Structure 1
Amino acid sequence: MTGRDLARQVSSAVGEPARPVAQHAEWRWATTQAQLVLNRGDLGTILRFYRRVHGLNQTDLGALLGYDKTYVSALELGKRRIDDVPSLRHIATQLQLPPHTLGVTDPADADHRAMIQFGASTVRLAEIARQTGHASEAVSELWPLVARLEARLEDGHAERVVLHLLGRARIGLGVALGNVLPEERLGTAATWTLKGLSLAAYTDDPDFTGHALRMHGNECRKAGLRGAAVDRLTRAVAFAPTDAARAAALPLLARAAGVLGNAPLFDQTMQQADRLLDHVTHTSLFNPFALHEIRLRGLADTGRVDVAIQLTESSPAPTLTVAPQWRVIELVTVAGIMLAAHDLHGATTALDAAVSEATAQRLPHQLQRVIRTAEGRLPEVQGTAADALERLRSEMAA
């Protein structure tokens, strides 16, 4: 996929994620309202909801189920009941619902529920793996889960729990790919997070929507879609219902604003982040060490290298909350500022350490940052980083 293709996809998602359309009416089962209907387990209520979503009358629904209009009416009014398992399973199949919503349990449905439980654990463990410097392992875990969930969606099963899990798995896969892919392929990562964002409207979940906006916005920034990144992340900050949610979005918005060269937005965002530091629990992204790196890079990106130079000596020590890749990111950023201050020795030391860590963690994007930073000034470091990058690419190709 080219950058232009991705830009077209991203531009189509501007504003709120697309609402369900007629041919995706079955996706209405994923909304909060549908979940309330399904939780009641009342067949009559489920049938009425199905007709309303799909624009059917009782005759149409009867034709789908193999019943006459009078029988459908009696079921909806509660004048007739269906208790036999084969009939309930038939209705569940025709309405593309998990059988357990109608009180039927069978091996296939039990397998589905086990998959959902396993899938939720997989997404959580993949995120832990990514944050601890094992993004390639996260990709390996998420690929088969996404494939299995998408196959279920293709079969017409779009219940809320499936869409919610698939959305998070798609986003997790995109973010993990954003760590392990080289720059020229980062559009793939943004595409996967966009696929996750596209499900937000169907789940009607504010927390998921905010998460999707944050992750997609950050991958847009890495893919070079700067305006789209600021748009998504600005919406994520505005959408955040709590200080913790704002703290998750503000550092990403600051990075995007810096890359865009928007100094006022960068300064405003960093000020908001600073005010929250003592009021929210620190995470792998929201902590003094990560914010220091974001501040240094943003100052340099907005033409204030002299201020950044003054701050390079005051870097907070990494703590257990800091993800390993952030140490690599900070080393490259500091090296660039040292070069601006004509400190070749300090820059060489920082970049050598960055190459070693980026190779160990399999971070091609950071090796490409090293190459750009060293270009024309530190040819030996540039060559070492280029060799390491080539080895990683060969391993990925294999």
Structure 2
Amino acid sequence: MTRRAQHVLWHWATPQAEAILATRDLGAILRFHRTVHGMNQTELGQLLGYDKTYISHLELGKRSLDDLGSRRHVADSLRLPPHVLGITDPADTDHRAMLQFGESTVRLAEIARQSGHASEAVAELWPLIARLEARVEDGHTERDVLHLLARARVGLGVALGNVLPEERLSTAARWTAKSIDIARYFGDPSFTSYVLRMHGNELRKARLHGAAVDRLLHAVALAPNQKARAAALPLLARAAGTLRNQPLFDEVMRETDQLLDQTEHTSLFNPYALHEIRLRGLISTGRIDLAIQLVDQDSPVPTTTVAPQWRVIELITVAQVRLAADDCGGGAQSLHTAVDEAVRQRLPHQLQRIVRAAGNRLPDIKEAASHALDRMRHEMAA
């Protein structure tokens, strides 16, 4: 879709439209609609069922629409939320309730995912997205609707990234990608950075490593403040490590450490996640000795709320380090615990990591993880 076509489709979502709608000035609203669609007053009159003179009088404020029926007609014809024209009937109440419900759904889905219940998050977000997409398809493209839709799509993609096996993780990346056009259209650097970093992380998980690094570099560049930058840097470090780009990995980790050393920013990072990211990056860039030294140190105590899946992720990475150091006993202990937790939390991607980590050195654990993964796939297909 070209930007012009998108502008026509989403014209009520622009900052200019938001300012005009806030005035509740019918004349300004009509003029804006004509400008976006390249219409003259005669054409707008044909759309609304009024003559050119009447449209001109409305735009100049010489006439007003005093009855609810006429205002409802204009709102419906221009795909406007009714309250913009002073209508507070049941349809407008339903619209506001839908937005409030949608906001709550997105927040609760994120809480569910962070609590290790990603499948519940998926189940909550599917119907919300379907409802919002139907509204957009019908021409109702207000800013709050599009913003909510973008966040819901990102939330769904990230949740799917937790519950899908590796061969289907591209689906998660596609859902997060669906929000990029909306984010860029809004021109909000913070929101665009958020969408790009979540999309980039799902691309990494889908093994599209070069694209992941590209998106995450863009997310960091767009980050308007330290908080947004701190959110993107660890994901970029992980992607750089996966790509085996040692210079970029080291550069990003140095900046992350610098931010972490600043007391006012310690709450922005999850040291537990950073520990695992550092370990995995060192392994990927061939510095096993440094990874072993890091494992032998005490793991950081989480200072923020840590999603349960992080424990599984770290157990597998620690096992990889142990096995690289020929500590099969330590590796087996970590992987055994990881299998149980991955099954309990329904994390097929992590079971696949366990299968690879165990390899031929720990055949019993590899077999247990493979069987658990087969059962999970069967249940998902049923």
Q: TM-score, normalised by structure 2?
A: 0.96
Cα distance in 2 for residues equivalent to 1:90 and 1:332: 60
Aligned counterpart, 1:280: 265
* SS in structure 2 of the partner of residue 21 of structure 1: helix
Equivalent residue in structure 2 for 1:380, among 357, 364, 370: 364
Q: What is the Cα-based RMSD across aligned positions, in Å?
A: 1.3
Aligned residue in 2 for 1:73: 56
Please state how far the C-alpha of 1:304 moved relative to its aligned partner. Answer: 1.1
- Of the three residues 282, 299, 315, the one matched with 1:331 is 315
For 1:317, the aligned partner's letter is V
Tell me how far apart the structure 2 counterparts of residues 276 and 364 of structure 1 sit (CA, whole Å): 34
Instruction: Verify the 8 A CA contact 1:19 1:202 in the aligned structure 2.
Output: no
1:166 aligned to 2:149? yes
**Counterpart in 1 of 2:220?**
237
Residues 239-276 of structure 1, C-alpha deviation per residue, up to 9 Å, x if partnerless?
11111111100000000100111111101111111122
* Percent of pairs with identical residues: 68
Letter aligned with residue 230 of structure 1:
V
Confirm or deny that 1:394 pairs with 2:378: yes
**In 2, are the aligned partners of 1:230 and 1:253 still within 8 Å (CA)?**
yes
Q: Is the 8 A contact 1:282 1:321 kept in 2?
A: no
Q: For 1:90-109, what per-residue CA distance to the aligned partner results, in whole angstroms no more than 9, with x for missing partners?
A: 11111111111111122122
Contact 1:297 1:333 in 2 (8 A): yes
Paired residue secondary structure (1:133):
coil
Within the candidate set 201, 205, 210, 1:222 is matched to 205
1:83-98 to 2 correspondences below 5 Å: 83-98=66-81
CA contact (8 A) 1:31 1:204 kept: no
**In structure 2, C-alpha distance between the alignment counterparts of 1:340 and 1:328, rounded to whole Å:** 19
Structure-1 separation of matches of 2:169 and 2:238: 17
Partner of 2:280: 297
SS of the residue 2:145 aligns to: helix
Q: How many residues align?
A: 379
**SS of residue in 1 equivalent to 2:178:** helix
Are the counterparts in 2 of residues 134 and 361 from structure 1 also a CA contact under 8 Å?
yes
Measure, in 1, the Cα distance between the counterparts of 2:265 and 2:380: 38
Amino acid at match of 2:357: T
Alignment of 1:246-265 (within 5 A): 246-265=229-248
Q: Judging changes above 3 Å, is the alpha-carbon distance between structure 1 residues 198 and 125 closer, same or farther for their aligned structure 2 residues? A: same
Q: How far apart, in 2, do the equivalents of 1:196 and 1:26 lie?
A: 15
Q: Which amino acid aligns with 2:322?
A: M
Q: CA deviation at 1:137?
A: 0.8
What is the Cα deviation at residue 204 of structure 1?
3.2
Deviations 1:324-358 (A, max 9, x none): 11111011001011111000000000000111111
Q: What 5-or-longer segments of structure 2 have no aligned partner?
A: none
Residue of structure 1 equivalent to 2:334:
350
CA distance in 1, matches of 2:73, 2:222: 42
Q: Give the structure, 1 or 2, with the largest relative contact order (CA under 8 Å, sep 6 or more).
A: 1
| CA offset digits 1:279-337 (Å, max 9, x no partner) | 32536xx2211111100100111111121111112221345522111111011001011
CA distance in 2: counterparts of 1:32 and 1:320, whole angstroms: 35
Residue range with higher mean Cα deviation, 342-351 or 101-110: 101-110
Unaligned runs of 5+ in 1: 1-17
Output the CA distance in 1 between the equivalents of 2:305 and 2:147: 27
Give per-residue Cα distances to partners, 1:100-139, cap 9 Å, x unaligned. Answer: 1111122122111101001001101111111111111111
Is contact 2:150–2:182 with CA below 8 Å preserved after alignment?
A: yes
Counterparts in 2 of 1:224 and 1:22: CA distance versus 1, 3 Å: same
